[in-house]
Amino acid sequence: MIRFEGLPGEFLQVDWGEAHVPLGSTVERRVFLAARLKYSRTVAVRWGTTMVLEQLLRGQLAIFEELGGVPWACVYDNMKTVTLGRTVDGQPRWNPTFARFATELDFHPERCDPHAPQQKGSVENLVKFVKTNFLPGRRFADDADLAEQSAAWCAEKNGEVSQAHGERPRDRLAAEQAAFGALRTTAATYGLYRVAGVNRESLVRVDGNQYSVPVGHLGQAVDVRVLADTVVLSRDGVELARHARLAGHGQRQRDPAHYAEALAHRPRARLVLERDALCTLGPEVTAYVAAVCQRRRERMADEIAALAALRDQAGPAAVRQAVTRALARDAIGAEYLAVLAAQHAELVLPAVPGQRLVDRDLASYEAFVLQATGRAH
């Protein structure tokens, strides 16, 4: 074995670890992304719940942000999220999404040779060190507390003299930062790249959910960018649609405007799309829409239009507030929505006295009783 030291800014070794962590009153499985710079021995750790590719890339971007730039090369073990195996001549077959990430961030991905753990021994030692030095004796209120204590522990270790070079890693980090490449994106703003097709409903499937694009792109391949909370769909460099990212699987997000041209002479289909869009605002809105469709089916189109107008004018939160109050009062109908959407609105019915006239101070009643009793005596 031949030991070597990296040049400033040259190597970042990256590896996954997992542990059972005391969170609150339970012990739960968590994974962590451990990274160590070869030259300075600066360490960084990011915690999560899964080892999927997105968590790897966003965790690595968060580490780049913490370190202050992009190293020349990042070294990985044989992660399935990074490589799909090797070619016949032994070269890595990089995961396409990961390969694009490396190209856009401008670093060289390197993979350890099979059965050669010494090529990333530094970061493997860090994984063991997290388990044997950081975790023992600690408890965490929640995941945020885990992340906070982990960051403080890393800062402490980066301030101690390293046995590898006899200096403090944080003192050597400045030399690394001077040699790093520029970081042009962040964990929150980077969009993972995919390619997907448009089906006959003008929907594109992304991570188990479907998102609409304007009609006219049936069967075409579109570029997908998956941000932390947004999905952006483009074709030939032109953005087609931008959606809030859906959680879970099996959901559809359709923008009625994407179908306006095709549905100009199909009012029933337009109504169904608008109704589906409203139901995505929350379970209370779905319950209200169901009540409208059951009780006022003969004027369902007008009711759905009124609900959509309230959403467009006052926002989804106002719609949820209005329908929650409507359901509680069993007041189903467009004529109630505008009143109920107000923050402190009360339901006002014609020829019915206001609540303040009904609810009187008890003292006035007692005075009336005493006065009446005195007259009787």
Q: Tens of pLDDT along 277-290? A: 888 889 999 999 99
Confidence at residue 218, expressed as pLDDT on a 0 to 100 scale? 92
Listed in sequence order, the residues at least 6 apart from 179 whose beta carbon sits closer than 8 Å to its beta carbon are 7, 8, 9, 10, 72
Check residue 202 and give its pLDDT: 93
pLDDT computed for residue 226 by the predictor = 96
Beta-carbon contacts of residue 285 (< 8 Å; ≥ 6 apart)? 278, 279, 307, 319, 320, 323
pLDDT of residue 72 exceeding 60: yes
pLDDT band at 115 (very low <50, low <70, confident <90, very high): low
| Packing angle, helices 143-158 and 169-179, rounded to 10 | 90
| DSSP label of 47 | E
Confidence of residue 361 (pLDDT cuts 50, 70, 90): low
Whole-structure pTM value: 0.72
Average pLDDT for 198-227: 95
Identify the H or E element spanning 125. Answer: helix 121-129
Q: Which pLDDT band, with edges at 50, 70 and 90, does 338 fall under?
A: confident
pLDDT at 211: 97
Domain with CATH 3.30.420.10 in the chain: 11-179
Q: Which residue has the higher pLDDT, 307 or 115?
A: 307
How far is residue 325's CA from residue 307's CA, in Å, rounded to a whole number? Answer: 14
Confidence of residue 122 (pLDDT cuts 50, 70, 90): low
Domain 11-179 has CATH 3.30.420.10: yes
Residue pointed to by tokens 């006052």: 314
What is the C-alpha R_g of the chain? Answer: 30
- Average pLDDT of the chain is 87
Tell me the DSSP string of 318-376. HHHHHHHHHHHHT--SHHHHHHHTSTT-----TT---HHHHS--HHHHHHHHHHHHHHH
**How many residues are given for the chain?**
377
Over residues 303-322, the pLDDT tens digits come to: 888 888 888 888 888 889 88
pLDDT at residue 344 in the model: 46
- The per-residue pLDDT for range 139-182, each reduced to its tens digit, is 999 999 999 999 999 999 999 999 889 999 999 999 999 999 99
Share of the chain above pLDDT 70, in %: 86
